[in-house]
Amino acid sequence: MGNRSLLCLTASLGTSFAAHAQTPTDSLPRRFNILGEPHLVPRVGVALQKQMAVEVGLIRHRVRYQTLGNSSRGLYAAADIVPGRRLVVGPKVGGSFGANAASADISLVYYTDFKRRQLMLTPAVGVGLIGFANLLYGYNIPLTGRQLTEVGGHRVSLVGNLNFRAPKEYDQLVESRRR
């Protein structure tokens, strides 16, 4: 194959790919970074420590729609409920962040069985689905008091931020960008 044939083949392939790349789409522009509105949504989860715990609460969840992948973040108030011989309750406040398949969380928890009490800081990292569903490993760092036997140092949790408004919000953003 001569140089002239190779040049013609390359030019024709390049022209066809360029024409294909310019077809209209129903999506957002090539580069976008849009911060969605915050929504107060339920936060639920289960955790494995020395004993199983259930988490229920509310998070102010906000999604950022971006070219390279979406992310979300939010501040939350929740409670850990650890059933067992003695009921342990842990009201907590914290922050959650998720981007693509990574997630992180930090919380300040006040565990009590109504006789003993302990304040703990729990940083956690793991994998997730843009912060909507997260599988996290965390470590409970005691800040005060003796460690409650029902609450261990290591914690594996599965947490969901139930923001069902996000898909509708994304559709509305796409529609507004088309106009």
Query: Do 171 and 144 touch, CB atoms closer than 8 A?
Result: no
111 found inside a domain: yes
pLDDT (0 to 100) of residue 169: 82
In a domain, 6, yes or no: no
- Is pLDDT of 54 > 60? yes
**What pTM value is reported for the model?**
0.78
Please give the mean pLDDT across all residues of the chain.
Answer: 83
Residue 20 lies in a domain: no
Q: Does 176 or 164 have the greater pLDDT score?
A: 164
Residue 5 lies in a domain: no
2 belongs to a structural domain: no
Predicted pLDDT at 4: 56
Domain count, the chain: 1
Residue 26 domain-assigned?
Answer: no
CA atoms within 13 A on the CB side of 18: 6
User: Taking 50 as the threshold, does the pLDDT of residue 98 lie above it?
Assistant: yes
List, for residues 56-72, the tens digit of each pLDDT value.
999 999 998 888 888 89
The larger pLDDT score, comparing residue 36 to residue 136, is at 136
Asked whether residue 21 is assigned to any structural domain, the reply reads no
Structure confidence at residue 14 (pLDDT) = 46
**Lowest-confidence segment of 58-67, 145-154, 156-165 by average pLDDT:** 145-154
- Output the domain CATH number for residue 57: 2.40.160
Average pLDDT over residues 46-50: 92
Domain extent, residue 50, equals 33-178
Q: Compare 99 and 167 and report the one with higher pLDDT.
A: 99
Within a domain: residue 18?
no
